[in-house]
């Protein structure tokens, strides 16, 4: 039990840091968008090239950059919501209510959300790389896609195991 408390505590810290990281990225994106709208001298293109498309060779219309950044910010907010759900899941685990259908659905929702985030993130970057003509697009976007996709599949596997455990628990309760 002591090891379990340590593991849930460390997972909670990791989730808090991940939420903070993606919130800061989203805040910086919003700052850069507003800064480029307010200031005539500042170009959103410079920020996008320096942060996301280091080998881009083409300067598309600024609307493409704004759309990319807004969609990227929305994806980060979606991920933060899924991480909040994961935090609630850990909280319920500490209380002791993990093997019920509601928690199983939450685990499945988190796993599906991570897969949706991974696919959406990769698609957004591939489309944007097309506009910025970056040859290394496939290789630079692939690692984050793989990490979130595998985490999502792992969560779906855990939800299937939890669903089986819930079924066995209900059968055991009926037997008694």
Question: How does residue 64 score in pLDDT terms, banded at 50, 70 and 90?
Answer: confident
Domain positions in the chain are: 2-175
- Return the structure tokens found at 24: 């800061």
CA distance 76 to 137: 20
Torsional class of 96: left (φ above 0), alpha (ψ -120 to 50), beta (otherwise) = left
93-103 mean pLDDT: 79
Rounded to 5 degrees, what are φ and ψ at 60? -75, 180
The pTM of this model reads 0.84
CA distance 161 to 167: 10
pLDDT reading at 1 higher than 90 = no
62-72 mean pLDDT: 85
Answer yes or no: are the C-beta atoms of 155 and 111 closer than 8 Å.
yes
């Amino acid at each position: 039990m002591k090891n379990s408390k340590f593991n849930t505590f460390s997972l909670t810290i990791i989730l808090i840091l991940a939420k903070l990281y993606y919130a800061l990225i989203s805040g910086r994106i919003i700052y850069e968008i507003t800064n480029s709208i307010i200031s005539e001298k500042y170009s959103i293109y410079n920020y996008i090239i320096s942060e996301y498309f280091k080998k881009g060779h083409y300067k598309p219309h600024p609307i493409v950059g704004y759309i990319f950044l807004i969609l990227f910010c929305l994806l980060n907010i979606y991920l933060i919501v899924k991480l909040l759900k994961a935090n609630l899941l850990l909280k319920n685990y500490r209380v002791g209510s993990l093997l019920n259908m509601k928690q199983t659905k939450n685990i499945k929702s988190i796993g599906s959300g991570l897969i949706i985030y991974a696919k959406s993130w990769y698609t957004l970057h591939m489309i944007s790389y097309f506009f910025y003509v970056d040859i290394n697009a496939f290789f630079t976007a692939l690692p984050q896609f793989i990490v979130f996709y595998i985490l999502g599949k792992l969560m779906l596997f855990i939800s299937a195991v939890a669903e089986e455990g819930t079924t066995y628990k209900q059968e055991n309760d009926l037997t008694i």
